[in-house]
Structure 1
Amino acid sequence: MDKHYESVRVGSLTVDPSMDTNRLYMQRDENTAWTAKITENWDVEMLLPALVSKRANGEMVIIDGQHSNQACIIKEGPDFLRDAMVYEGLTIQQEAKLFLAANKHRKPVRPYDNFRVSLTAGDPIAIRVNNEVQALGEDLQVAASPSANRVGAVQALLAMGKKPGMVKRVLTLVSAAWGRDASTWDNLILRGVTMVLDVPGNWELADDARLIKILKKGGAPAIWKQNSVRLTTSGGGSSSRSVPMAQAIVGDYNMGLDREKTLVLGRPKKVASSSTTAAA
């Protein structure tokens, strides 16, 4: 067996589709959602070397780095040269062991630790999230776990941070409704309110004072969360568990309003030019 570093054309790296699907290593179906996420947040400086097996027939098979390689092809083109640790002379069993070594024993990195490193790396979304949280008071900060002045729903914050002003507006709404409390900063709660505002027309049209009133009327965050989880189809992820809450907010908000003033979910809201918008 020989191993060496080599710059490899990303379009020449392949995944063997004929592998036995009962094996526990690299031949997984392409996870398009994960590839799309890497592509959306693409930064060529974050592309790590791939782990590659060069077989006797010259085929270059990816052992680790499949999704980032597909994203690289999309963003940089198939002729981009990627650094790779290339192994030659591996058996199928040895390829499997290398895959397990690269994936099975990785310790998951906590979202907050990722956030801190992202700040150091100058990630614009992490910086925006941090700035918008701190804009609500020097005592409020992103943290690993929630408390009165510590927002621990890091993954929700980063999703919200893709839209300028979203973090500040949502945190202002929920704290006005329930005060600053660990339950206020719950991931499901923040995502639910964000879903309502993330529809383009809703962002401009929503009356924040009315939203606060709706949130208060529905009870404490724990009640909103309990009802939302109860109405979620079994197996739903963190985002899907927030959908019933968002639907309830919109339903209650729209009661008694003329159609042109109502909010929607799932499609852009067409806003008349004369509409009065809430301050973000």
Structure 2
Amino acid sequence: MPMITLYTPAPSPGVAALQEVSDAVTGLLNLPSGHCWILWQQLEPGSFHRPEWEKDTDAPAPVGFVVCKQSYTRDQVGALLKLLQARLGDLLGVAREEIYLTVQRATAGELLVRGEVWQGDEIVGEETGRKIKAVTDVVPVGFVHNDRLDLTDDNWGPVTSVIHLDSNQFTSDALLRLDSFSHVEVVYHLHRVPVSKIQRGARHPRSNVDWPLVGIFAQRGKNRPNRIGVSRCRLLRVDGLDIHVEGLDAVDGTPVLDIKPYMTQFAPRGKVVQPTWVDELMRNYY
């Protein structure tokens, strides 16, 4: 989530104007609405030295600092800077080349994202002499858009969603002939699960004591160690960079990590066996 701080002697153009810039940034980066902060810092006379500002006190061009994670690509950062120059130039009526912007990429342990310190490449443990590093090169390929905002577990069957691919990474060629399949498998990040809720041992599914104590890797609960979800859903149609699906059990704004066509050859071989509590749990899921 980028955080943009702008410094200038000029007064703020107002919350609505800054909201429009924020929306443009999240739209460019395919982030959920609200995942960009803009802070306007009006400087007092005598607190700065920039000759251009003293000559033009009505609408001086701002100086800006953008803080973002290292996972943003060079192209994404370049597009972000150009967008900010264009939007701020038009908003303030100043030449775009007079707007100076710089980017700081936050390193591991220095960025707090929604209550969790981003770990980056930090070594998280060792196993049989091999160092275990956090995986940091996973970038969402797109985001889920639908009307499902709450985190309730059931009734996903009729939910229709659009997965919008990131136009900075892909063209419509990435989806060529996907529409010849009836179903897709979607891998996504369960981003709204707090780190404090992650389970690493055993628990009763849905905290229902009528069901047995089950290890986290013997169930499909969302409070998983890496918060990764996998869903098989019906493909309705493909439109440009938009994939329309039905039955995807992911809420609005969910980051999508991968999309694969479902092929019958990847179905389980032989008889499928599962305990009775699963049938009870899944009765109203779809």
> TM-score, normalising length from structure 2?
0.29
Q: Which has the higher contact order (CA 8 A, sep 6+)?
A: 2
> TM-score, normalising length from structure 1?
0.29
